[in-house]
């Protein structure tokens, strides 16, 4: 699993669940990525955060939210979907996206073995997710007027691999204010 970039993580990093007062910071993170990675459709994020969801996490350092991303679980289908995973543009390249990805992979319980993770991402971030083993499942499609092309990707991940990810995460200088399954 891709953990090499985790050595660059900032100090005093906290991973916690989203709270409604985080909406502005998460919206600003979305806006910082519109030009290259996300469609100009901030209302999609706002609608998601105002509805029910399984997990939406934020990455915080020194009281500042620098990343966020969700995971919706569909236990009856043994499936989880990544959504709205992003790092503030001026914080790219410091391992935060990797931390957010690995944390979401580690959240699925043991009863789902192997667990399937799906996501939709732009062709610009497809190589990032490929490093974690995600594979392209669709042809590129332009889903938003004037926007970039998107693909669907998926990953089957056994419990053993998720246990290894949890062990690796617990060795990092990060405070997890979330509970991982046993």
C-alpha distances (whole Å) from 92 to each of 15, 88, 106 are 17, 7, 22
Q: Which residues pair with 73 in a beta bridge?
A: 80
Structure tokens at 16: 């916690």
pLDDT band at residue 142 using 50, 70 and 90 as cut-offs: confident
The answer to whether the peptide bond before residue 114 is cis (omega within 30 degrees of 0) is: yes
**Mean pLDDT to the nearest integer, 118-133:** 93
Higher pLDDT, 148 or 30: 30
Identify the DSSP state of 148.
-
Dihedral of the alpha carbons of 15, 19, 23, 29, in degrees to the nearest 10: 0
**Mean pLDDT to the nearest integer, 137-151:** 82
Domain-wise residue ranges, the chain: 4-177
**Mean pLDDT to the nearest integer, 23-35:** 91
Residue among 2, 3, 1 nearest 174 (CA):
3
pTM: predicted TM-score of the whole model, two decimal places: 0.93
Q: How far apart are CA 29 and CA 24, in angstroms?
A: 9
Give the range among 74-78, 126-130, 153-157, 175-179 with minimum mean pLDDT: 74-78
Higher pLDDT, 168 or 144: 168
Choices 3.40.50.300, 3.40.50.1360, 3.40.630.30, 3.50.50.60: CATH for 4-177? 3.40.630.30
Residue-level pLDDT at 79? 87
Residue-level pLDDT at 78? 76
């Amino acid at each position: 699993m891709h953990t090499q970039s985790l050595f660059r993580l900032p100090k005093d990093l906290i991973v916690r669940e989203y709270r409604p007062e985080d909406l502005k910071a998460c919206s600003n993170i979305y806006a910082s990525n519109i030009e290259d990675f996300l469609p100009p459709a901030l209302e999609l994020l706002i609608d998601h955060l105002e509805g029910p969801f399984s997990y939406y996490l934020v990455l915080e350092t020194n009281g500042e939210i620098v990343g966020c991303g969700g995971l919706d679980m569909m236990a009856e289908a043994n499936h989880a979907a990544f959504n709205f995973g992003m790092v503030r543009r001026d914080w790219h390249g410091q391992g935060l996206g990797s931390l957010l990805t690995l944390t979401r992979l580690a959240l699925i319980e043991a009863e789902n073995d192997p667990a399937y993770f799906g996501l939709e991402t732009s062709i610009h971030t497809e190589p990032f997710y490929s490093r974690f083993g995600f594979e392209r499942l669709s042809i590129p499609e332009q889903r938003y007027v004037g926007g970039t092309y998107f693909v669907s990707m998926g990953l089957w991940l056994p419990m053993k691999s998720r246990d290894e990810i949890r062990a690796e995460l617990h060795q990092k200088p990060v405070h997890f204010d979330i509970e991982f399954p046993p």
